[in-house]
């Protein structure tokens, strides 16, 4: 189903070692509105959505895994040269004790990923949930950019933020397609 190209979807560059920024970025790795949750949500929902928009969920769900890879790369690059003391000062002491410098699925507060992925089985409800998820991810990226002082990280985050906007727009188009389909008169 997938073809893996051994390069990131968009370049990830890091100016300096910054474990505190890594802590914030972990939200988009294992948080409720992060990339893993989005990928799992869309790839699960595609089974109960009309075939007319199934490919959209498949395509965006797959792209979310590419975003997950970018976030993991950022977190790794921001922490790889950090000392245990720097990690502790950045609020990543517990993470370090449990996982070393390995990237792990939890949110910025340290709560482990809990699979709270929404899938109702109603195409319109699911697509509205997807729109909300994309908008929450977009706003989280913007807020991380607002507190970041690393222009190189901000470049990658800006790319991810823009992709969330595109995904939201595509889901909105899918809602309209399905609403149009539902409103057609059926003659038996």
- Residue 135 maps to a domain: yes
28 in any annotated domain: yes
pLDDT band at 113 (very low <50, low <70, confident <90, very high): confident
Band (pLDDT 50/70/90 cuts) for residue 174 is very high
Asked if residue 6 lies in contact with residue 66, where contact means CB atoms within 8 angstroms, the answer is no
Do the domain assignments include residue 110? Answer: yes
Domain count within the chain: 1
Is 102 among the domain residues?
Answer: yes
pTM, rounded to two decimals = 0.92
**What mean pLDDT do residues 159-174 have?**
98
We report the CATH number of the domain holding residue 154 as 1.20.1260.10
Residue 177 inside a domain? The answer is no
**Mean pLDDT of the 143-148 span:** 97
**Taking 80 as the threshold, does the pLDDT of residue 81 lie above it?**
yes
Q: Averaged over 22-48, what is the pLDDT? A: 93
Determine the structural domain holding residue 126 and report its residue range. Answer: 19-169
**Domain membership flag for residue 117:** yes
**Mean pLDDT across 154-172:** 98
**Is a pLDDT exceeding 90 seen at residue 28?**
yes
Q: Are 172 and 135 spatial neighbours (Cβ–Cβ below 8 Å)? A: no
Residue 146 in this model has a pLDDT that exceeds 80: yes
Asked if residue 68 belongs to a domain, the reply is yes
107 pLDDT tier (thresholds 50, 70, 90): confident
Average pLDDT score over residue span 34-53 = 93
Alpha helices in the chain (DSSP H): 19-30, 35-45, 51-79, 84-89, 93-99, 123-147, 151-183
Q: Considering 27, 35, 63, 129, which one is annotated as catalytic?
A: 35
Q: What is the pLDDT of residue 181?
A: 83
* 90 vs 109 pLDDT, higher one: 90
Catalytic residue among 27, 67, 106, 129: 67
Q: Which two tokens stand for residue 125?
A: 């409800």
134 tagged catalytic:
yes
Q: Which of 64, 95, 106, 129 is catalytic?
A: 64
Query: What percentage of the chain exceeds 70 in pLDDT?
Result: 96
Which one from 27, 95, 129, 167 is the annotated catalytic residue?
A: 167
Q: Sorting pLDDT into bands at 50, 70 and 90, what band is 117?
A: confident
Whether residue 94 lies in the annotated active site: no
Q: Is residue 24 part of a domain?
A: yes
Catalytic annotation present for 67: yes
Q: Is 35 a catalytic residue?
A: yes
């Amino acid at each position: 189903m997938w073809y893996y190209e051994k390069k990131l979807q968009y370049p990830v560059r890091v100016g300096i070692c910054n474990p505190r920024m890594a802590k914030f970025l972990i939200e988009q790795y294992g948080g409720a509105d992060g990339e893993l949750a989005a990928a799992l949500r869309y790839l699960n929902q595609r089974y109960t959505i009309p075939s007319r928009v199934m490919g959209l969920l498949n395509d965006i769900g797959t792209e979310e895994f590419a975003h997950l890879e970018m976030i993991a790369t950022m977190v790794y690059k921001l922490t790889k040269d950090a000392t245990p003391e720097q990690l502790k000062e950045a609020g990543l002491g517990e993470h370090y004790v449990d996982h070393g410098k390995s990237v792990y699925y939890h949110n910025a507060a340290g709560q482990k990923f809990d699979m709270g992925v929404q899938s109702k089985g109603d195409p319109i409800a699911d697509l509205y949930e997807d729109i909300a998820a994309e908008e929450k991810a977009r706003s989280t990226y913007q807020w991380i950019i607002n507190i970041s002082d690393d222009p190189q990280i901000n470049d990658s985050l800006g790319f991810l933020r823009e992709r969330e906007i595109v995904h939201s727009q595509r889901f909105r188009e899918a809602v309209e397609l399905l609403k149009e389909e539902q409103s057609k008169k059926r003659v038996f």
